[in-house]
Amino acid sequence: MANLKILLSLLGAALALALWTPTAMGLNALLLAAALAFGWIELRARHRIDDRVLAARVFETSGNGILISDAQNRVLAVNPAFSTITGYARDEIVGKTPNILRSGRHDSAFYESMWQAINTQGMWQGEIWNKRKNGEIYAEWLTIDTVKNPLGEAINYIAVFSDITERKTLAERVEYLATHDTLTGLPNRALLAELLSKAIADAGRSNTHLAVFFLDMDRFKLVNDTLGHAIGDELLKAVAARLQDATRAGDMLARQGGDEFIMALPNLTGIPDAAHIAEKVLLELGRTFELGSHTINSSTSVGIALFPEDGEDAFTLLKHADAAMYRAKELGRNNFQFFAADMNINMLERLALERGLRQALDRGELQLRYQPQFDLATGRVLGAEALLHWLHPEHGLLPPAKFLTIAEESGLINPIGAWVLREACLEAQRWQSADHPLRVAVNLSAVQLRQFDFAQRVAALIADTGIAPDLLELDLHENTLLLDTPALNKLLHALHDQGIRLAIDDFGAGYSSLANLKRLPIDKLKIACALVRELPQEPIALSVVRTILCMGESLQLDVAAEGVETEAQRAWLVQHGCRFAQGFFFAGPMPAQAFRDFLGAQREANIPVK
């Protein structure tokens, strides 16, 4: 407008000069006025042309999709970005309505709300799911504006949108990672707390029971450390899959961390329902896992807490289910236990034992007791098993079953195990010096066998104590041999090559295979106490023990019976060819000096000692 006023002023001045000066100067002024007028007209025309060019340029080059439709929402024009995003060429969409893009994810109420905003406010903006020409569903951020005529009537609609699928997918992935376990895909601890709190609220309103299962895999560390973390991860994923198969619709399943899983089961009538599901879970997880070339036998311990009896919030129910799970571990693993109020006391006692155990070695509270091993045919003493006990300052003498699991789980088993080996070898050296060259048997934890230099440590200990290598017997629990790995094979052969004898302890209680027995350098099988205890009445025990005795004879292995307590057991074992035994029927574990006195008494009574 300002330019127009200036132009008019100049034109007026030129005309006045032409009128008042009828000379060449006046003529020039008139020509100047005409030139200015035509110049202004041309300038305005050029501006209008530039505006149209600029608008067309923006329409064509915009990275956002643009769609222009008429008052009946029929498409009039689309830009290249529209075709790039949707897959529809201009000729395929012009004349049609945008309904062709609908994905089916939104109901009619969604579109009714959208058009209500467009009609009343003149525009709508939001996130919407549409469908490309190839059928792919994508997310877009859409803005729809209304173009009206001077009467206020809608004559056009302009839709501008951008594809936000990748950004939305990334945001969903970040949210997923924050609430789910990346290995198994199950909800993690954070999401579990939210879901469990909601389930508890629902159970409270419906006056129904809800059970919380705390599941912990038995001896998972053995798998992880011997076969490697990759196989351990595969086992965890396989366990998660079986748990999902064992759950009902509406049940919740989460990975707490490590080898721990949580199940929350709503709409139960009470304990029988929970027990039935727990039995099903144990059965599923007890089946053999085939992971590539590895066959793994596993089991799980389960603790159960019920709402509202055992707690009315997620934290309390999880804590009580955890306590019940530890009770299941104490009762031999591979079982389920319901929470009882005294478990909190047991858990506190367990924590106190762990704290005390960390100091027991330094305080000299640990001691070895020796239980004689006998030749059943001659009655002579062949050696002794070194059994670890803890002389607790408050609880008195504790047997190994009370604290060895704590030692393994807390990482204390390695220093304690090293002390046990040294003390047992020193004691055997004393027997050897006193002309009683008896063999001492020492139990090993699977954790100790994972030390890369364990064979070298034992060799150094034998050299240091001066004990004859064949007077040391290392007892391995049967479940240790479940994982026949190259590392374990190499270690056992290295120990055996030193002249050390190797025995499988608690044989018959686990899953040892005949192939392992043939491949590994084993010298002795020790029949599990649980089997010997049922002799000679229980038919299954009779059958299993006969099989073990035949197996030992076929493989040329010594077979010893542990836990012999009655004459009937002793007589049956002798009758069926068992040569070696130990148990309270013969003699119980005794301190080192008492064992030496026992050997002296045996000699004075003219009972042969090896």
Contacts 24+ apart (CB under 8 A), 76-85: 76/156, 85/132, 85/138, 85/140, 85/161, 85/163
pLDDT digits (tens, 9 = 90+) for 18-65: 444 444 444 444 444 444 444 544 545 555 556 666 767 778 888 899
Extract the tokens encoding 299: 């089991």
Among the ranges 265-274, 397-406, 530-539, which has the highest mean pLDDT value?
530-539
- Examine the domain organization and report whether 151 and 213 are in the same domain: no
What's the mean pLDDT when you consider all of the chain? 85
- Examine the domain organization and report whether 21 and 98 are in the same domain: no
DSSP code of 248? Answer: P
In a domain, 188, yes or no: yes
pTM summary value = 0.54
Supply the pLDDT for residue 348: 62
Q: Which of 169, 195, 227 is the last residue of a domain?
A: 169
Supply the pLDDT for residue 370: 96
Supply the pLDDT for residue 132: 95
Longest dimension (CA), the chain: 163
Supply the pLDDT for residue 384: 96
Confidence of residue 11 (pLDDT cuts 50, 70, 90): very low
- Examine the domain organization and report whether 333 and 443 are in the same domain: no
In a domain, 541, yes or no: no
- Examine the domain organization and report whether 247 and 276 are in the same domain: yes
Q: Which of 306, 340, 374 is the last residue of a domain?
A: 340
In a domain, 109, yes or no: yes
What percentage of the chain carries pLDDT values higher than 90? 50
pLDDT digits (tens, 9 = 90+) for 75-101: 999 999 999 999 999 999 999 999 999
Confidence of residue 16 (pLDDT cuts 50, 70, 90): very low
Supply the pLDDT for residue 48: 53
Alpha-carbon distance of 384 to 23, in angstroms, equals 143
Lowest mean pLDDT among 39-43, 380-384, 532-536: 39-43
Range of the structural domain that residue 504 is part of: 365-531+560-568+579-604
- For 270, the 3-state DSSP assignment is coil
Residue recorded with tokens 């366990």 = 239
Residue 74 has pLDDT above 60, yes or no: yes
In a domain, 539, yes or no: no
Q: Which of 145, 169, 193 is the last residue of a domain?
A: 169
Break the chain down into helix, strand, coil percent, rounded to 5.
50, 25, 25
In a domain, 469, yes or no: yes
Supply the pLDDT for residue 483: 58
In a domain, 546, yes or no: no
pLDDT digits (tens, 9 = 90+) for 233-256: 999 999 999 999 888 888 999 998
pLDDT digits (tens, 9 = 90+) for 320-355: 999 899 888 888 888 888 887 665 556 667 777 888
H-state helical runs in 62-160: 80-86, 90-93, 108-121
Supply the pLDDT for residue 382: 92
- Examine the domain organization and report whether 134 and 279 are in the same domain: no
Domain count for the chain, please give it: 4
- Examine the domain organization and report whether 281 and 317 are in the same domain: yes
C-beta separation of 593 from 604 below 8 A: no
Residue 456 has pLDDT above 70, yes or no: yes
What percentage of the chain carries pLDDT values higher than 70? 87
The CATH number that applies at residue 474 is 3.20.20.450
Phi and psi torsions of 4, nearest 5°: -65, -40
- Examine the domain organization and report whether 203 and 303 are in the same domain: yes
Supply the pLDDT for residue 500: 96
- Examine the domain organization and report whether 31 and 82 are in the same domain: no
In a domain, 175, yes or no: no
Alpha-carbon distance of 508 to 544, in angstroms, equals 7
In a domain, 286, yes or no: yes
- Examine the domain organization and report whether 301 and 414 are in the same domain: no
Residue 461 has pLDDT above 60, yes or no: yes
The CATH number that applies at residue 286 is 3.30.70.270
Alpha-carbon distance of 595 to 605, in angstroms, equals 15
- Examine the domain organization and report whether 461 and 474 are in the same domain: yes
- Examine the domain organization and report whether 35 and 78 are in the same domain: no
Host H or E run for residue 261: strand 260-268
- Give burial (CB, 10 Å; 0-12/13-18/19+) of 373: buried
The CATH number that applies at residue 104 is 3.30.450.20
Cis geometry, peptide bond prior to residue 80 (ω within 30 degrees of 0): no
Strand partners, 388: 368
C-alpha distances in Å from residue 316, one per residue of 184, 200, 253, 312, 434: 26, 12, 18, 7, 60
Strand partners, 527: 507, 561
pLDDT digits (tens, 9 = 90+) for 161-220: 999 888 887 877 777 777 888 899 999 888 888 889 999 998 888 888 899 999 999 888
- Examine the domain organization and report whether 108 and 205 are in the same domain: no
Cα angle, residue 30 at apex, residues 29 and 35 outer, rounded to 5°: 95
